[in-house]
Every structure is written in C-alpha cells, then in structure tokens.
Amino acid sequence: MGAAQIKRVLLCRPTHFTVDYIINPHMRPYRVDQPRAMHQWDELVKTLEGLKIKVEVIEQKPDVPDMVFATDQGIVKDGTVLLANFRYPQRAKERVYYRDWFRRHDFRLRALSNVFPFEGGDALLFGDKLLIGTGFRATTATCEELARKLNMDVVPLRLVDPYFYHLDMALLVIDEATAFYYPPAFSRNSQNRLMRIIPNLFLMSAEAANAYAANSFVSGQDIIVHSATPADFHKQLDAQGLRVHQVDVSEFIKAGGGIHCLINTLA
Ligand code: ARG
C-alpha cells in the first residue's frame, strides 16, 4: 500500500499575503509578519524540493491576500483542472489569476456552473472516491454536480464546526485505506459514513486538530506537518511508517490556512 508519490505541485509566492477581511473564525486582520511569512514559505518550498517534488510557482496579485492558498483553486487530475467557485466574493478574483496560469501551462480547464460553490480545500481523494466537505463552503448540490461532471463516486461529509470550515482542516488522508479525523468537526451521520468507508480510521486529538494536524501534506511515505503539532501526533504518524518533516507555518494560520492549503497537487 502507501500513498502515491507526488511529482509536481503549484504554490503561490506570498508577496502580498495579509489578512484584511474575515471569512472564517481564525482570521484576525493585520497581524501578519510578511518577511516571516515569506521565510516560512521558502522553507516549505525547500522541504518539498528535498522530497524530489517539482515546485511550480505562481506570483501573487496584490488585490487577493488569500491567493496563497493554492489548494483551494481547484482539483487537478490527469492534466485537467476543475476550477473553484469561491463562496465569498473576496476570493473570486483568485480564480481568474489561476485560470490564466493553468491555461498558460497547458492544463485543460473545466468548471461547475457558478451556482455551485466549490473550493479545493473541501475536496480530498480517497482511493477512487472524492470526499467533499459540505456546510460552510460546498453544498450537497455541489456534490451531486461533481459526481455528474467527474463521473465519480462523491461522498458528502457534513462539517459542523466553523473552525473546521474546510474538509482539509479535519480529515487527513494517508493512503487508500488510512486516514486520521477529528470527529467533532463532523455531523454524527458523517462520522458514521467515514467509519464505514475508511478501513483504518484513526482519531486525531483536539490538541492536534487545533494545531492544523489535518492540514498536512502526504507524498508516499513522507509527511510535512506544521511544527506546532504535538509530539503525540508525530508518534501516531511514525507508527504508520511515515517520515515526519516539520515546517513552521504560523503566519499563514493567521488567515486560517496551513500546509495542505498552500500546496496544489498537479501530478
Ligand atoms: N482565508 C482563507 C479562507 O477562509 C483560508 C483558506 C484555507 N484553505 C484551506 N484549504 N483550508 O478561505
């Protein structure tokens, strides 16, 4: 078993990263230390490159502070990108900039009708299924539309805690049989659904979940985690045979995003 080795990713250089509006309860305006954010991002890029992953970089535009969260821009599979429909107007323009980037780099472009909110942070592949977080950004109608459009088995998972507003804040997929989750982030039905479909489903503590443990990035047997995640969580990862790499992303957490949010997997 084991997760796929990631070959190529897209990140956005955080030249204009700041917090100047509030669309999730983590956001506290005007507290970002920009040089520090840039340094943390450089460390993340170095760590990815150390894992032999090719890092593509899109430059940030000044009018979209959350553009740094590349994963939200859509899901890429086999050279096709399904673009995001941002739930909040503050992020809508990011889509235009990323669409240009994808077009210039020869990706095929697809999109849902704009009546269906959809952000990449709510989408996690699990084997041949697509897991979608609903309730805060995506809706159950989005899931139906995704299933139709992608011809895939789409599993809606209802998120109930606004601090865990995207699926990648509460669920960490390790491979096609294994994941960690933070139960209180999900409705009772969705907790049961996860238990049914994921053979090796492990609990994540509140301490780990609050330190963005779910928002980690897995490639093969390697995992990059936020350096503030607790030692107990690292032990759980060790027990799965994973090599743990730590990067501090404390500046990005001021906008409600961590490591997984910063990395869009291209191949
Ligand atoms: N401020 C951004 C928002 O609320 C953070 C996005 C984080 N992305 C993620 N995949 N969880 O939209």
pLDDT single digits (tens) 90-124? 999 999 999 999 999 999 999 999 999 999 999 99
The reply to whether ligand 1 has any atom less than 6 angstroms from the CB of 24 is yes
**Interstrand relation of 8-13 and 264-265 (parallel, antiparallel or unpaired):** antiparallel
Residue 1 belongs to some domain of the structure = no
Round the average pLDDT of the chain to a whole number and report it.
97
User: How many angstroms separate the alpha carbon of residue 105 from the centre of ligand 1?
Assistant: 24
From the candidates 12, 143, 166, 226, give the one annotated as an active-site residue.
166
Paired residues of 126 in beta bridges = 129
Residue 190 belongs to some domain of the structure = yes
Domain that holds residue 189: 8-265
What's the whole-model pTM score?
Answer: 0.97
The reply to whether ligand 1 has any atom less than 6 angstroms from the CB of 68 is no
Phi, psi of 4 (to 5 degrees): -65, 145
Return the pLDDT at 3. 85
- Is 166 an annotated catalytic residue? yes
Atom 10 (ligand 1): residue with closest C-alpha? 121
Domain count, the chain: 1
The reply to whether ligand 1 has any atom less than 6 angstroms from the CB of 256 is yes
User: How many angstroms separate the alpha carbon of residue 264 from the centre of ligand 1?
Assistant: 13
Given a cut of 60, whether residue 64 has pLDDT beyond it is yes
Residue 64 belongs to some domain of the structure = yes
User: How many angstroms separate the alpha carbon of residue 231 from the centre of ligand 1?
Assistant: 25
Between CA 141 and CA 73 the distance in angstroms is 19
Residue 90 belongs to some domain of the structure = yes
The terminus-to-terminus CA distance of the chain in angstroms comes to 19
pLDDT level of residue 1 (50, 70, 90 thresholds):
low
Average pLDDT over residues 170-191: 98
CATH number at residue 148: 3.75.10.10
Q: Which amino acid is at 100?
A: D
Q: Please report the sign of the dihedral spanned by the C-alpha atoms of residue 35, residue 261, residue 204, residue 142.
A: positive
User: How many angstroms separate the alpha carbon of residue 169 from the centre of ligand 1?
Assistant: 9
User: What is the per-residue pLDDT across 181-234, written as a single tens digit (0 to 9) for each?
Assistant: 999 999 999 999 999 999 999 999 999 999 999 999 999 999 999 999 999 999
